[in-house]
Amino acid sequence: MKNKLGICAVFAMTATLFSCQNKSYTINGEIANATDGKIISYLIDTVDGLTPTDTADLVDGKFTLTGSVEYPELMYLLIEGSNSPIVLFVENADIKLVADAENLENVKVEGSDLALRFFSFATEMPDHQRAIELQQEGQAAFFKGDTLRVEEISEEMRMIRENQQSYMRKFVADNQGNAVGLFMFLNLMGIYDEDEVETMVERFKSSQPDHKYTKMLISYFNTQAAKADTEPTVSVGDAAPDFTLTDKDGKAVTLSSFAGKYVLVDFWASWCKPCRAYTPKLMATYDKLKDKGLELICISLDEDEAAWREAMAADNMAGNQLRETDNAVAAKYQVYTIPASFLVAPDGTIAAIKTGDAEEFLGQVVDAVK
């Protein structure tokens, strides 16, 4: 029977666009403890690129941004003078946003179901605070040499990760018909098996074929599949690919020149937050083991030399600091996400690879070198 109502029918919890929806968005924001200035909105243009879309005046903690999106997507709102953005999933709707400049991760929104779903992913993550506490405890125990406590923490962290991964999978499954689920899967593919990834890619191709996140997903999946077909796997026991790069002082550094020593090779970048969080642990391990012969080679993937040098200074990075802009060495090591670390043994083979937990990998380094 045809719907005779003079308004659009309301469909249950879906992110698909239909004829009566808003064709533009309005974001009315209130930010406590903010000084007057500008606020700029950015959309993700590529996997790691941002495109500015609008600028608004921030007066007495209030601002209004307007625009339109072809499909719902992630937006960064950056307050002038701040390094931390407000991360918002935006759709064409009237959205109200309330935040505090002193804690921009705690944001409240109204008027957008997708924005609420996006925020719920983090706020409902099981054992989130406990995981943070354990990471801090684990780092302290590791540097005290309390191996028993490190093992206890590692086991509890393993159970938390399993629980969180189950939560992530359920979240994506519950949202596979909308752009939030698509975005989350694009960032969580690493927790899925290859066959599962292929199945999910097909589902998103069917449910949201024209969304740019789907196109990014397909491109990434096809690139990874092609690499898997053409490139050898880098595994523990393999010969470490040799390389020569220039360090921060312009001196050429070659991996094979350190033959007979353990070498810790780390790939990172100034813009990578997980890398910057990992750096203090990496540097502490190097400082602990350098007198026992451990060499450290950090390879930055920064294109911006100034940002690279600023990050090195800010993080007190020691060892051999190198940089490449074409990712040629990273490709040899099959580095597709960072941070990525490899321990090269004195005979030139790979002794350990960081696949997840930092403390676990650095513990392997300590056990090998001591």
SS3 of 201-220: the string is: HHHHHHHCCCCHHHHHHHHH
What is the Cα–Cα distance from 117 to 86, expressed in whole angstroms?
Answer: 16
Residues 103 and 135 in one domain: no
Residues 91 and 141 in one domain: no
* Domain CATH for 59: 2.60.40.1120
Indicate the pTM of the whole model: 0.62
What is the Cα–Cα distance from 17 to 158, expressed in whole angstroms?
Answer: 40
pLDDT tens for residues 291-314? 999 999 999 998 888 889 988 988
Residues 215 and 262 in one domain: no
Task: Look at residue 270 in the predicted model and tell me its pLDDT.
Answer: 87
pLDDT tens for residues 147-196? 788 778 878 888 888 899 899 999 999 999 999 999 999 888 878 887 88
Residues 293 and 364 in one domain: yes
Q: Confirm whether 7 is domain-assigned.
A: no
pLDDT tens for residues 340-363? 999 999 999 999 998 777 888 998
Residues 286 and 338 in one domain: yes
Task: Look at residue 14 in the predicted model and tell me its pLDDT.
Answer: 35
Task: Look at residue 200 in the predicted model and tell me its pLDDT.
Answer: 93
Q: Confirm whether 6 is domain-assigned.
A: no
What is the Cα–Cα distance from 263 to 247, expressed in whole angstroms?
Answer: 16
**Among the three residues 111, 139, 164, which one is the final residue of a domain in this structure?**
111
Residue pair 88/79 in contact by the 8 Å Cβ criterion: no
Residues 39 and 149 in one domain: no
Does the pLDDT value for residue 142 go beyond 80?
A: no
Residue 76 dihedral angles phi and psi, to the nearest 5° = -105, 130
Task: Look at residue 46 in the predicted model and tell me its pLDDT.
Answer: 54
Q: What is the mean pLDDT of the chain?
A: 85
Does the pLDDT value for residue 32 go beyond 90?
A: yes
Domain extent at residue 216: 128-230
Residues 248 and 362 in one domain: yes
Residues 105 and 157 in one domain: no
* Domain CATH for 350: 3.40.30.10
Task: Look at residue 335 in the predicted model and tell me its pLDDT.
Answer: 85
Output the CA–CA distances (angstroms, integers) from residue 16 to 118, 169, 175, 226, in the order listed: 16, 21, 12, 31
Does the pLDDT value for residue 229 go beyond 70?
A: no
Residues 253 and 346 in one domain: yes
Residue 66 dihedral angles phi and psi, to the nearest 5° = -130, 155
**Among the three residues 200, 230, 260, which one is the final residue of a domain in this structure?**
230
Residues 289 and 176 in one domain: no
Beta strands 320-323 and 295-300: pairing type?
parallel
Residue ranges in 175-304 assigned as alpha helix (H): 179-188, 194-207, 212-230, 273-289
Task: Look at residue 277 in the predicted model and tell me its pLDDT.
Answer: 87
- For the chain, the domain total comes to 3
Residues 39 and 100 in one domain: yes
